[in-house]
């Protein structure tokens, strides 16, 4: 009899335990930080939606722009590691492998394709342009036969989730020629830097101080370098050519005034940077 009961216990355990494990959500392999989102998004946001930076500190919103330069991360409900910030409760991942909501708006997705944001709120798509910001790399396929139907602008698409290796930034340097050459790539890198700085108010303040100081120093030194040499040569010329003393003195005064104007302009510009 004991053997029968033992057999029943083992049999029931084999049925119950696996189903219990499957019911538990498997954490995304990601490190997340908590943020807040606007009230308009609270009822509609879904796990895997793409979020972008807003003008308010620590507040993100679902992206609505393709190749969004302000794209910041993915909303994940069950990350492996969460850094919680005071007053914020929406975990957002910027690194790791997470499930992302995607559509076939720009075509079917194959493993290895780059993923970016789209004009469908919060949803990703295959990146088909060389220039623009990317969310990461698709780790699985998503075709017209996968997911569920989505109606957008009177057309039918498919929507669903795929695993994406997150790596937010401008398109790769291998696309230099098609993205406007070196200047186009430099522009993308610069915009990425400014977007990251704007997400942290303290870093933004420090950056403004450094930039304003550089502008003031460069303008003062530049004025002295370009016009100061004329002043030095003018003083030397007075001794060699006394008859042209008045003309040389006028030239010296003009260059001194130009040094002052360039320096003043740089100082005003630096103060304007601090005031923005």
pLDDT tens per residue, the chain (276 residues)? 444 444 444 444 444 444 443 334 455 667 788 888 888 888 889 999 999 988 887 789 999 999 999 999 999 988 888 888 777 788 999 888 999 999 999 999 999 999 999 999 999 999 987 678 899 999 999 999 999 999 998 899 999 999 999 988 887 544 434 444 444 445 555 555 555 555 455 566 777 788 888 888 998 888 888 888 888 887 878 777 777 778 878 888 888 888 889 888 888 888 887 776
Does the domain made of 202-275 have the CATH classification 3.30.1360.40?
Answer: no
Taking the C-alpha atoms of residue 101 and residue 159, their distance in angstroms, rounded to an integer, is 7
For the chain, the structural domain boundaries read 25-175, 202-275
**pLDDT value for 50:** 96
Task: Report the C-alpha dihedral over residues 231, 232, 235, 236, rounded to 10 degrees.
Answer: -140
Strand partners for 117: 124
Taking the C-alpha atoms of residue 122 and residue 106, their distance in angstroms, rounded to an integer, is 15
**pLDDT value for 71:** 93
Say if CB 42 and CB 102 are below 8 A apart.
no
Which of 35, 164, 195 lies closest to 98 in space, CA to CA?
164
**pLDDT value for 49:** 95
**pLDDT value for 206:** 75
Which pTM value belongs to this model? 0.55
Domain 25-175 matches domain 202-275 at the CATH topology level:
no
Class (C level, CATH) for 25-175? mainly beta
**pLDDT value for 54:** 87
179 class by beta-carbon count within 10 Å (0-12 exposed, 13-18 middle, 19+ buried): buried
Phi and psi, residue 128, nearest 5°? -110, 0
């Amino acid at each position: 009899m004991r053997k029968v009961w033992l057999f029943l216990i083992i049999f029931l355990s084999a049925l119950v335990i696996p189903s219990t494990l499957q019911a538990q959500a498997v954490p995304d392999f990601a490190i997340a930080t908590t943020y807040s989102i606007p009230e308009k998004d609270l009822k509609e946001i879904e796990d895997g939606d793409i979020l972008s930076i807003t003008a308010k500190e620590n507040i993100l919103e679902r992206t609505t722009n393709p190749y969004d330069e302000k794209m910041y991360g993915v909303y994940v409900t069950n990350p492996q590691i969460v850094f919680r910030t005071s007053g914020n409760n929406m975990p957002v991942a910027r690194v790791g492998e997470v499930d992302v909501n995607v559509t076939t708006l720009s075509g079917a997705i194959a493993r290895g394709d780059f993923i970016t944001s789209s004009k469908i709120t919060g949803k990703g798509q295959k990146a088909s342009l060389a220039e623009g910001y990317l969310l990461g790399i698709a780790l699985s396929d998503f075709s017209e036969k996968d997911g569920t139907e989505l109606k957008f602008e009177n057309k039918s698409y498919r929507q669903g989730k795929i695993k994406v290796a997150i790596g937010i930034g401008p398109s790769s340097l291998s696309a230099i020629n098609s993205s406007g050459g070196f200047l186009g790539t430099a522009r993308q890198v610069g915009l990425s830097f400014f977007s990251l700085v704007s997400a942290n108010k303290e870093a933004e303040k420090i950056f403004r101080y450094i930039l304003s100081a550089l502008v003031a120093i460069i303008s003062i030194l530049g004025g002295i370098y370009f016009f100061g040499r004329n002043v030095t040569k003018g003083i030397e010329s007075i001794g060699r050519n006394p008859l042209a003393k008045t003309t040389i003195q006028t030239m010296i005064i003009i260059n001194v005034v130009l040094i002052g104007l360039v320096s003043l302009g740089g100082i005003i510009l630096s103060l304007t940077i601090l005031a923005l």
